[in-house]
Amino acid sequence: MGIQPLQDWALIEPSEAKGKTGGGLFIPDTAKEKPVEGTVLAVGKGRWETPKEKPGSKPKKKQKKEEKIFSPTVLKAGDRVLYEKYSTTEVELDGKELVLVRESDVMGLVGKETEKG
């Protein structure tokens, strides 16, 4: 792997857009939209965030570095994800078209069971 994402960025290999509709109609390449589903190849460790203030509390003048909290990433290599198609940075690696996406622009995991609780 030639790219290791930093902070909350994920390197994703987009899935190919399907060339046929569910009803059997073929879609020409010019009509295919960019895919919004892909497989995570690598992900950063997370990022430092400033805690949000509680409603009704007095705003603090300036946050110190010690007051920031580390938010680790939830994604891991191999996850199938849905992401916002216009929030990507396209990169090419070993002849493959890949995208870098912030974890906050990932809308969900594909094929994972939801937690009940």
The pTM assigned to this predicted structure is: 0.70
Which residue, 17, 19, 79, 96, is CA-closest to 43? 79
**CA 34, 37, 43, 45 torsion-angle sign:** positive
Distance CA 73, CA 10 (A): 9
Q: Domain coordinates of the chain in residue numbers?
A: 1-17+32-49+67-105
pLDDT tens-digit readout, 78-115: 999 999 888 899 999 999 999 999 999 999 998 866 55
Which residue, 69, 4, 11, is CA-closest to 38? 11
Query: Which of 31-40, 54-63, 77-86 has the lowest average pLDDT?
Result: 54-63
Fold of 1-17+32-49+67-105: 10 Kd Chaperonin, Protein Cpn10; Chain O (2.30.33)
Residue 14: its pLDDT value, please? Answer: 92
